[in-house]
Amino acid sequence: MEITYASPSASDLLRSSTAASGSTMPTPRTIKIIPLQHPDTSSYGSPGGFGNNSSSSSLWPNSWISRFRGKIRRMTFIDWIEMFLPCCRWIRTYRCREYFQVDLMAGTTVGIMLVPQAMSYAKLAGLEPIYGLYSGFVPIFIYAIFGSSRQLAIGPVALVSLLVSNVLSGIAESSDALYTELAILLALMVGILECIMGLLRLGWLIRFISHSVISGFTTASAVVIALSQAKYFLGYDIDRSSEIVPIIKSIIAGSDEFSWPPFVMGSTILAIIQTMKFLGKSRKHLRFLRAMGPLTAVVLGTTFVKIYHPSSITLVGDIPQGLPSFSIPKSFQYAKSLISTAVLITGVAILESVGIAKALAAKNGYELDSNQELFGLGVANIFGSFFSAYPTTGSFSRSAVNHESGAKTGLSGIITGSIMCCALLFLTPLFEYIPQCALAAIVISAVITLVDYEEAIFLWRVDKKDFLLWTITTTTTLFLGIEIGVLVGVGVSLAFVIHESANPHIAVLGRLPGTTVYRNIQQYPEAYTYNGIVIVRIDAPIYFANISYIKDRLREYEVVGNKSTKRGPEVERIYFVILELAPVTYIDASAVQALKDLHQEYKSRDIQIAISNPNQEVLLTLSKAGVVEMIGKEWYFVRVHDAVQVCLQHVQTMSPKASDPSHEKPSFFQRIMKQRREDLSVSELESGNSQMRSDSTQDDPQLEPLLSRRS
């Protein structure tokens, strides 16, 4: 298959094709070098200047402050209201006839789904079921006011419940009042932390946690959660732990106490929920079954117990009736031991809830500020802690149901909260007869979807490194616990990032035939290079961690060379190293010093550095450090092709006496300066006003940058 490339002009291609076909050779064209604009460090800070040292050091904060001030000045009174009360955005544009019916349906559906789930997740957290209902009441109303997502359904979730249980079980017994107080205090701490991160716009910090880590963590957590619910199926107690080995040992040790009635009931209810979920996903006209699964489990289990009164099946028991009362969280002396879990829950909130909210916002055609979303979740948790709620966050399953049910605004959340209110006021007497195995089946059904084996298969096929990260996180979480699993996963993830940053991709460039485009010779084998010249592209910022690796690779290219097709005058070694710095967004002081050392090292071996296309900040840093003057302004170019033409001109016109042993051999730099004095000044070179070629050049078909024809 013939490969074609984009050429700088059609006329050049025409001349090339004409020459190749044996037609009359066109007139050689003059080399044109685009002059690079160098920064004037003495005038920076003045209008149009590039800066002095004191002003440039504060460039980025001044730029950020000026943008912030401009944004503040552009904000209207309505913008201020919407910033503090995001609910005003959908209230102002609410269309009652179009939105109310779907919001009512979606809110009712999610509310029916949340009531049994809230009680199930509270049991998973080691709390009484009533605290799950409390957590699904006040936070929902607060989030509807301060949250910016219109479809996110918040409340108790399985993963956060497991985290709460894991940390609190090591401090107090679940039957103690202290256990409940600490769960409520944890909600306050999570809320404060989320608000601080939202106000300071620090949500970007969680970007350092790889998706592979999150997938592996949730997969392992789902397995631990499912096994922790086995006691309600088996009919006997098992040890509470976040590690899989103690749980399995406990299950095996108590196998002689197995009771088949709760196992049969729990398995049957779980099968019913899974069947309804499958039908709801696979058939659009049966979508309502997906949300009705938990309610169906509760109704069937309660009906069976009311009719047959089986003594071997444990029940939820008495649940207080009425709304939660206002109270300030207590036991602040334990706050220090809860900090790590609060940070972990906040991380889960950012990664899962904000990610879900942004995806739903994109599907529904509105913008969502992740920091505002984080602030809304924080306020919901803070107010929830004043009304006996434990930490809440966005639920993937309920948010998906809310979206699929057609929710348009936050009114659906208010309706969900209203259903929770009705359940607390009127339905708690009925909850007394709910079987524990039914609630366990709801939890297991919910966490089955968290076992992300498809992600593992995808990672194995696409990126073995990410698969290794997923495997490490999953394994350590299963066998060493949640906190250690997360720390190990994040640590390995950061280690991969540091390794990639410290060993950046560096490419040797060659010229694509018939163009002035230079590309990686490994990706484009047909690209050719020139004798005596190495063109290197650095595809990363240059800083203290990777400068040693970059220097080593440059030395390697100088000594080893490359196997691509070479053109130009036959020379014995490398005389020019061209650094393409277009991908380099930043260079620090350590890298600048290393670049100076590299220049001196090259100078001692008669090698000249040329730099192509540095951005403004990089060029300014090099200029302030004196590197521009050290290398020479004439060795900075806009394009790689400009640098190649100048370097190739010097390689081509080197004095023949340099190889004559009877003459004293001048240094390479002396030969360059002599040639420059004889031929043209630097300004003429950059402007392209001089005819930069000799008679021998016009007869050499290999010097393509200096010729527009081929023999």
Q: Which residues contact 299 (CB under 8 A, 6 or more apart)?
A: none
Work out the burial of residue 67: count CB atoms within 10 Å of its CB; fewer than 13 is exposed, 13-18 middle, 19 or more buried. Answer: exposed
Interval 202-206 mean pLDDT? 75
Interval 629-644 mean pLDDT? 91
Which pLDDT band holds residue 596 (cuts at 50, 70, 90)? Answer: very high
The pLDDT value recorded for residue 47 is: 40
The pLDDT value recorded for residue 659 is: 44
Amino acid of residue 522 = Q
Interval 464-473 mean pLDDT? 92
Phi-psi region of 575 (alpha: psi -120 to 50; beta: other; left: phi over 0): alpha
How many whole angstroms from its chain centre is CA 681?
Answer: 50
Asked if residue 708 has pLDDT above 50, the reply is: no
The pLDDT value recorded for residue 31 is: 61
Asked if residue 158 has pLDDT above 80, the reply is: yes
Q: Is 503-654 assigned to CATH 3.30.750.24?
A: yes
3-class state of residue 332 by DSSP: helix
Q: What is the pLDDT of residues 298-330, one digit of tens each?
A: 899 999 998 888 888 888 888 899 999 999 998
Asked if residue 140 has pLDDT above 80, the reply is: yes
The pLDDT value recorded for residue 188 is: 96
Which pLDDT band holds residue 359 (cuts at 50, 70, 90)? Answer: confident
Which pLDDT band holds residue 673 (cuts at 50, 70, 90)? Answer: low
Q: Are 222 and 209 in contact (CB under 8 A)?
A: no
Q: Are 293 and 272 in contact (CB under 8 A)?
A: yes
Q: How much of the chain, in percent, has pLDDT values that exceed 90? A: 37
Which pLDDT band holds residue 26 (cuts at 50, 70, 90)? Answer: very low
The pLDDT value recorded for residue 458 is: 93
List alpha helices for 365-433, DSSP H. 370-385, 396-404, 411-422, 428-431
Q: What is the pLDDT of residues 181-198, one digit of tens each?
A: 999 999 999 999 999 998
The pLDDT value recorded for residue 175 is: 85
Asked if residue 644 has pLDDT above 50, the reply is: yes
Interval 526-534 mean pLDDT? 89
The pLDDT value recorded for residue 412 is: 93
The pLDDT value recorded for residue 324 is: 94
3-class state of residue 105 by DSSP: helix
Q: What is the pLDDT of residues 71-115, one digit of tens each?
A: 777 878 787 888 788 888 888 888 888 889 999 999 998 998 899
Asked if residue 419 has pLDDT above 90, the reply is: yes
Minimal CA–CA distance to 340: which of 550, 513, 230, 487?
487
* Whole-number Cα distances in Å, 574 to 190, 533, 580, 663, 672: 60, 6, 17, 22, 15
Which pLDDT band holds residue 214 (cuts at 50, 70, 90)? Answer: confident
Q: How much of the chain, in percent, has pLDDT values that exceed 70? A: 82
Determine phi and psi for 520, rounding to 5 degrees: -60, 125
Q: Are 623 and 500 in contact (CB under 8 A)?
A: no
In whole angstroms, what is the distance from residue 567 CA to residue 704 CA?
8
Interval 681-697 mean pLDDT? 37
Which pLDDT band holds residue 388 (cuts at 50, 70, 90)? Answer: very high
Which of the given ranges, 126-135, 341-350, 441-450, 680-689, has the highest pLDDT on average? 126-135
In whole angstroms, what is the distance from residue 555 CA to residue 391 CA?
56
Interval 666-694 mean pLDDT? 45
In whole angstroms, what is the distance from residue 213 CA to residue 471 CA?
9
Asked if residue 668 has pLDDT above 80, the reply is: no
Which pLDDT band holds residue 217 (cuts at 50, 70, 90)? Answer: confident
Asked if residue 625 has pLDDT above 70, the reply is: yes
Interval 663-671 mean pLDDT? 54
The pLDDT value recorded for residue 452 is: 83
Range in 56-65, 274-283, 341-350 with the lowest mean pLDDT: 56-65
Work out the burial of residue 259: count CB atoms within 10 Å of its CB; fewer than 13 is exposed, 13-18 middle, 19 or more buried. Answer: middle
Q: Which two tokens stand for residue 499?
A: 């390794």
Asked if residue 20 has pLDDT above 80, the reply is: no
Which pLDDT band holds residue 534 (cuts at 50, 70, 90)? Answer: very high
Q: How many helices (H) and strands (E) does the chain have?
A: 33, 10
The pLDDT value recorded for residue 41 is: 60
Strand-pair category, 506-511 with 518-520:
antiparallel
Buried b (16+ CB within 10 A) or exposed e, 307-330: eeeeeebebbeebeeeebeeeebe
Interval 645-667 mean pLDDT? 62
Q: Which two tokens stand for residue 161?
A: 């419940």
- Return residue ranges of the chain for CATH 3.30.750.24: 503-654
Phi-psi region of 187 (alpha: psi -120 to 50; beta: other; left: phi over 0): alpha
The pLDDT value recorded for residue 682 is: 35
Interval 364-370 mean pLDDT? 82
Q: Chain-wide mean pLDDT for the chain?
A: 81
The pLDDT value recorded for residue 482 is: 82
